[in-house]
Structures are given as C-alpha cells and as structure tokens.
Amino acid sequence: MDWCPHVTVATIIEDSGRFLLVEELKAGRLVLNQPAGHLEANETLRQAAIRETLEETGWDVELTGVTGIYLYTAPSNGVTYQRVCFTAKAIRHDPQRELDDGIVAATWLSRDELAAQPGRWRSELVLRCIDDYLRGPIHALDVVRD
C-alpha cells in the first residue's frame, strides 16, 4: 500500500478576539474550518495560505507567523494530512468575490463560540490551532524555507 500524506495550509486571522472561519459543506454537513486547503504544484506554502484564504473568504491577508505544523489522520477516511498553520492579519475584503465551491460563507467567531460547537468542526485541528495560537509562541515566518 502506498502512503502519501497530503500537504495542507491553514490560516488563523484574529480581529478583536474573533477568528475568521469558513462554513463549508463536507459530506452533506455544514462544518467550520479555518481558511485552508491543499498545496498546489509550483507554489510555496506561504503562497498557498494567502491564495486559500482569498479564495475561501474574499479576504486579502498578510502572513505574520506560524502557529505550528500538525500531522492529522482523518478518522473518516484514514487520509493523513500535514497542516502548516499560519497566522495573518486581514488587509482588505472583497464582499463581491465569489467563494470556492463548497464554501457557504465566511464568518467571524470568538474562541468560545467555536468551542461551543464541536459537532460542527471539520476536524479537531480547528480549535487546537486557535488554542495554540492563543497560548503561543508564534514562530517567525522564516522558519518556513521555500
């Protein structure tokens, strides 16, 4: 059996104690996740994080750091994901931008509002990444070598 982990990125954007999340359809359920997605050919991890955030939320962001690197095997399908989670600040929003397929909306929630809805998390990484962000440390972007 060939084992091939999927490289993904996610972005934590906080504004006044609220976090930018996406509501997306996954297996017929409406779930919450950070703006996140797969690394594409010929792009850097940083480029992927900026692109995915824009495509899923309509927000241009500036990356500010790295929360962590996570290895997660989804119990639903057995696929292993390596997630690089960045932090960013929101720069500008285009409310007219069409969001990616499957994305229903971008929304801002507090940590407690998110924690109160565990049945809606895409995975346990959603709250874990926010908690790691809040707990720190946040690592410098230069820890990611392109």
Residue extents of the structural domains in the chain: 6-138
Residue 99: CA atoms inside 13 Å, Cβ hemisphere, count? Answer: 20
What is the chain's alpha carbon radius of gyration, rounded to the nearest angstrom? 14
Whether 84 contacts 144, CB under 8 Å: yes
**Model confidence over 107-133: pLDDT tens digits?**
999 999 999 999 999 999 999 999 999
Q: Which of 46, 41, 42, 43 lies closest to 9 in space, CA to CA?
A: 46
Q: Which residue type, as a one-letter code, is found at position 112?
A: D
Question: CATH number of the domain at 6-138, out of 3.90.79.10, 3.40.50.620, 3.20.20.70, 1.10.4030.10?
Answer: 3.90.79.10
The pair of structure tokens assigned to 96 is 């007219």
In DSSP notation, 55-120 reads HHHSEEEEEEEEEEEEEEE-TTT--EEEEEEEEEEEEEE-TTSPPPTTEEEEEEEEHHHHHT-GGG
What is the value of pTM for the model shown?
Answer: 0.94
Q: Which of 146, 137, 129 lies closest to 42 in space, CA to CA?
A: 146
**Model confidence over 15-61: pLDDT tens digits?**
999 999 999 998 889 999 999 999 999 999 999 999 999 999 999 99
CA–CA distance, 106 with 31 (Å, rounded to integer): 12
**Model confidence over 51-71: pLDDT tens digits?**
999 999 999 999 999 999 999
Question: Measuring CA to CA, how many Å separate 10 from each of 1, 79, 140?
Answer: 28, 17, 16
